[in-house]
Amino acid sequence: MVKKAPIFVALDTPDLKQAIAIANDVKSFVTGIKVGPIFFSKNSIDKVSKFSEMNLKVFVDNKIHDITSTVEKTLNGINSQPVDYFTIHTASGLKTLSRAKEVAAGFSRPIKLLGVTVLTNLDSSSSLDEIGIKHNMEEQIKQLASLAQKSKLDGIICDGKNIQNAKQAFRGEIFVPGVRLDRDKMHDQNPSRSLTPKAALKNGATYLVCGREVCVGNPKDNIQKIVNSLN
């Protein structure tokens, strides 16, 4: 059996047939798929079983950011579903993160919680200041990674440039989105925070998250190019 690459493919489409087709194209090459608000705008949570049946890990990236009771109820809504990873904003605070971990520990099947640090379209020079954050990017990511560590989350979401910075405060899995073979094609991602897939893994990423880089055009050809670039 061919070893699968440490990659999750983001299926950012509400079209279930299209999502299944892409998953079929990439299932032999990658660890899993990621689905989030775009997918769930037209699909219920039980539809993720379509991907787990392909022997793909399922990463639900709803990035919940809410009060403790709402986070708890949201998590209980996915109990027993074939979900392997679920995201919550670390800015929700230590109390909420810790309670989320307690709730997940009681699930009927194992699930790992990932803390979102700073979204990859933001930059330290202007975007953080706009939302009232006075730390620079490195300080803010380290602070949020520390919250994830204190609340015993299983992993965090972090840009490629800040992996080592985050590792100073966090010892779990690190998922890195926004990686690109061609860094001139960043779409709405911030190029100053991006690395190539190979560089991100070398820098300490546990898993990579690839969306448009795979799904636009021919998914099977695209994922093979990315996997080949890791050698």
Coil, strand or helix at 57:
strand
Rounded to whole angstroms, the Cα distance separating 163 from 153 reads: 16
DSSP 173: E
Read off the pTM. 0.93
Q: Hey, what's the torsion of the CAs at 198, 204, 208, 213, to 10 degrees?
A: -30
Tell me if 213 sits within 8 A of 182, measured CB to CB: no
pLDDT of 187 > 90? The answer is: no
Mean pLDDT of 160-171: 96
- Bridge partners, 60 (sequence order): 35, 86
5-229 belongs to CATH 3.40.50.300: no
Top-confidence residue, 114 or 182 = 114
> CA distances (Å), 147 to each of 91, 97, 141, 172, in order?
8, 8, 10, 12
| Average pLDDT for the chain | 93
Please indicate whether residue 63 is annotated as part of the active site.
Answer: yes
Given 4, 27, 47, 63, which residue is catalytic? 63
In the chain, domain spans:
5-229
Q: Report H helices in 63-136.
A: 68-76, 94-105, 127-130
pLDDT of 185 > 80? The answer is: no
Residue 28 — φ and ψ, nearest 5°? -80, -15
pLDDT digits (tens, 9 = 90+) for 40-77: 999 999 999 999 999 999 999 999 999 999 999 999 99
pLDDT digits (tens, 9 = 90+) for 107-154: 999 999 999 999 988 876 678 888 888 888 899 999 999 999 999 999
